[in-house]
Amino acid sequence: MAGESDKNLDKLEELKRKREHILQMGGPKAVEERHKKGQLSARERVDRFFDPGSFSEIGMHVKHRTTAFGMGQREVPAEGVITGFGRVDGRYVVVAAEDFTAMAGTFGEYHGRKFVRAVDFAKENGWPFVGMNDSGGARLQEGMDTLESYGWLFRSQILASGIIPQIALLMGPCLGGQAYHPVMQDFLIQTRHTGFMGIAGPAFVKTQTGEEIGLEELSGYKAHAIKSGQTHVLAEDDADCLDKCKELLSFLPSNNKERPPRIRTDDDPERKEDLLGLLPKHPHEPFDMYEVIGRIVDHGQFFETLGLHARNMITGFARFNGRPVGIVASQPKWMAGCIDIDAADKGARFVRSCDLFNIPLITLVDSPGYLIGSQQDWGGILRHGAKLLFAWADATVPLISIIIRKSYAGAHYGMLDKAIGADFVLAWPTARITIVGAETAASVIFAREIREAGKPDDVRAQRIREYSETYENPYCAAERGYVDDVIDPSDTRKAINRALDALAGKSVARPWRKYSNINL
């Protein structure tokens, strides 16, 4: 019996040695290199992210099976990715954190299998998934096994899409096939100085195309937070990235069967604010929509997404009386709030994301229409612009539109109106709701009269005034039921909260179909 007991103790010691060795990752020197670059190690990121003592690791002892090209003697602790689950602010979340100290966090067959297991586990349990991306890319030594493992992960993520929230944290390099899986998640947060993403790195680009370009210009935050619109949120460093991820999670339910988490607030739901004073005297002068948002949401707190991309459209999360909502707003200070190709894509994706996770949507409208011109037409503004219409018409969550000033032409639908599916449309007395602006309408309807008049400028001014007085006001739309009420701007917060109360039990039944055939 004593002998058996000693053997068991030996096995326990062996387990401890193995665990301690794996926990060392690539070793103290490699971890120190991370710190010199201002980065946390993968395990430090996990420890900082989860509530203390709540993380349980899965797959610590997984090993690759490759023997070619020296891999038979190559040890990769935990296969270069830490997977498991724990609590974040008391709620369960699943993580896959790539470890750059372990063979540069390269993505091989079993690295991929661990990722897939984590995503599937999150989906099966109805918990959010967070991927912490920091990898040298595909593990080329494993050949076809690496290639196939990407496919497994892509399919797993796609099948989990719309069931659980998926958030990618771009905290290091993420190039080649490796870059697809973070982009395919719901939201992507990129660190300003250390996060890089691209379909190929500078060396591959030069080899294949001859173009010489640096990593930061090709794959840094400016490329994706500003130009491509693939980075939703920009973070300063690892700690800020993890904190922003936690904040984002606080607006989202754990899965598509739950409502978003409501919190207690001491901000009066019927608080009045002087909003009319924010508007300039002339209806075509710009104002800052962020000021309106800041005054009506709980405690002025707004979590913006894609804030540096397509800045003529504002998207992000806030709360009304503790309820999470998504906000889609025109920004008159940028391109006069016109909807162009990028703004349409940005808005449509955000609307669909909110609808998937039962988050009510509110629009703040001041847009003269979709942007016109050859470049927009040739770039597919009709196709891209229609995405917004699909998104609104498909949405089943509470939909509330606040028309502040201009709601013209296609933007009337693109920014949510009654016909496309709004539950409530409320207008300020400053709203101008019609097919086109009075200047444009008069120039078409009365073109001949103006042209032949003795004093064309006087006739033009008179006709513009007549058209504006007849149609460019909220009361014409209200008389026909297209606007539910014209409200005092100071009552905007109260009106939104009452509408959300009324729509709390909203339920929509529709004929069965797989999904709408949105023209991507």
Catalytic residue ranges:
176-177, 410-411
What letter does residue 421 receive in the DSSP assignment? T
SS3 readout for 124-189: HHCCCEEEEECCCCECHHHCHHHHHHHHHHHHHHHHHCCCCCEEEEECCEEEHHHHHHHHCCCEEE
Strands 173-175 and 233-235: unpaired
> What is the C-alpha end-to-end distance of the chain, expressed in Å?
70
Helix (H, G, I), strand (E, B) or coil at 47: helix
Q: Are 174 and 182 in contact (CB under 8 A)?
A: yes
How many CB atoms neighbour CB 218 within 10 A?
A: 18
SS3 readout for 332-396: CCCHHHCECHHHHHHHHHHHHHHHHCCCCEEEEEEECCECCCHHHHHHCHHHHHHHHHHHHHHCC
Number of H helices, E strands in the chain: 20, 17
What letter does residue 178 receive in the DSSP assignment? G
Radius of gyration of the chain (CA): 27
CA triplet 30, 54, 39: central angle to 5 degrees? 25
- Token pair, residue 494, equals 């109260």
Phi, psi of 457 (to 5 degrees): -65, -40
Distance of CA 361 to the CA centre of its chain: 14
Rounded Cα gap, residues 356 and 259, in angstroms: 11
**What burial letters (b/e) apply to 190-215, b meaning 16+ CB within 10 Å?**
bbeebbbbbebbbeebeeeeeeeeee
Distance of CA 428 to the CA centre of its chain: 29
- Token pair, residue 274, equals 């002087």
Q: Are 384 and 341 in contact (CB under 8 A)?
A: yes
If residue 478 lies in a helix (H) or strand (E), which one and from where to where?
helix 474-479
Q: Are 271 and 297 in contact (CB under 8 A)?
A: no
Please list the alpha-helical segments (H only) found in 50-143: 109-125
Q: Are 460 and 238 in contact (CB under 8 A)?
A: no
20 Cβ neighbours under 8 A, 6+ residues apart:
none
261 Cβ neighbours under 8 A, 6+ residues apart:
91, 250, 251, 252, 253, 324
